[in-house]
């Protein structure tokens, strides 16, 4: 999920549209066309890197531990910790491929599509400045935290808990499973909704993780989530990070 949304730090991000007329500050500027005076800006609160990694990691640990405690207390089966131990690395790697396909599209087409540019600008202004200084250990910690913590809650606890409740109410097993998968995927998307487009993407990612959990188990889904987040952060930092912007500015000057 690129770990960009459900942690407390990331929820400080928000975007808004403003009108800025070219020429107000510079009388010599050319008169704009009717639609040239609309631009998107991103309003963010930058978070200190150590604060970001500390609060995010603590949040994910709490999410994972809380899911295990809640599952034990409410009698949810299978047990979260036990389910997390079984992992099929080969299958997990295959489940990662469609996510990487969407990532490749996003980082190569961000100049072409406005909705991708909006996501890029939020990452560049509010997320990457807090992640880039952390280096590889920080990216790994965030990826592992999101992969394990979020899967423990959404797929390890919430899906079997909701499914069990629906079955108790007499819902058919197949209908219950489909409803639980759909609703938890939308919930997952809503907690990652830094933009409308990102909501739809995250909902799809949540559905993929949910299907993987049902077919290959919780540990496999957590591995896929962790692996994707790690690779996504890496490629996004290379393409959109501070160093890439400095290189772009240097090439423009030369």
The 8-class DSSP code of residue 134 comes to G
Distance of alpha carbon 84 from alpha carbon 72, whole angstroms: 14
Asked if residue 101 lies in contact with residue 204, where contact means CB atoms within 8 angstroms, the answer is no
Tokens of 88: 């099929």
**pLDDT tens across 120-172, in order?**
999 999 889 999 999 999 999 999 999 999 999 999 999 999 999 999 999 99
User: In whole angstroms, how far apart are CA 160 and each of 34, 52, 155, 171, 183?
Assistant: 54, 31, 7, 14, 13
Element (H, E) at 99: helix 89-108
Tens-digit pLDDT profile for residues 212-238: 999 999 999 999 999 999 999 999 999
Residue among 38, 56, 44, 80 at smallest CA distance from 1 = 56
Every domain of the chain and the residues it spans: 10-241
| DSSP-H helix ranges across 170-195 | 173-191
Instruction: State the DSSP code for 1.
Output: -
Position 173 confidence tier, pLDDT thresholds 50, 70, 90: very high
Q: Is the pLDDT reported for residue 205 higher than 60? A: yes
* Residue 237 in tokens: 């930092």
E strand or H helix at 40: strand 38-43
Secondary structure of 189-224 in HEC code, one letter for each residue: HHHCCCCHHHHHHHHHHHHHHHHHHHHHCHHHHHHH
Contact yes or no for 41/18 (Cβ under 8 A): yes
Q: Decide if pLDDT at 38 tops 50.
A: no
Identify which of 128, 158, 140 has the alpha carbon closest to the alpha carbon of residue 63: 158
Check pLDDT > 90 for residue 97: yes
C-alpha radius of gyration, the chain, whole number = 21
């Amino acid at each position: 999920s690129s770990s960009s949304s459900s942690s407390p730090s990331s929820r400080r991000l928000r975007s808004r549209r403003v009108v800025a007329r070219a020429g107000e500050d510079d009388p010599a500027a050319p008169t704009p066309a009717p639609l040239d005076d609309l631009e998107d800006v991103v309003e963010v609160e930058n978070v200190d890197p150590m604060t970001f990694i500390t609060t995010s990691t603590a949040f994910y640990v709490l999410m994972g531990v809380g899911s295990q405690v809640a599952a034990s207390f409410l009698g949810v089966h299978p047990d979260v910790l036990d389910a997390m131990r079984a992992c099929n690395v080969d299958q997990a790697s295959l489940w990662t491929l469609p996510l990487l396909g969407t990532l490749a599209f996003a980082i190569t087409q961000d100049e072409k599509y406005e909705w991708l540019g909006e996501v890029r600008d939020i990452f560049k202004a509010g997320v990457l400045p807090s992640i880039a200084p952390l280096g590889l250990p920080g990216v790994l910690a965030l990826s592992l935290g999101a992969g394990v913590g979020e899967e423990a809650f959404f797929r390890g606890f919430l899906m079997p808990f909701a499914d069990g409740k629906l079955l108790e109410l007499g819902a058919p097993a197949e209908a219950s499973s489909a409803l639980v998968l759909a609703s938890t995927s939308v919930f997952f998307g809503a907690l990652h909704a830094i933009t409308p487009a990102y909501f739809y993407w995250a909902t799809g990612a949540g559905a993929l993780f949910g299907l993987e959990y049902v077919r290959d188990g919780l540990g496999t889904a957590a591995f896929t989530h962790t692996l994707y987040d790690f690779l996504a952060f890496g490629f996004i930092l290379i393409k959109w990070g501070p160093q890439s912007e400095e290189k772009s500015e240097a090439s423009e000057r030369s």
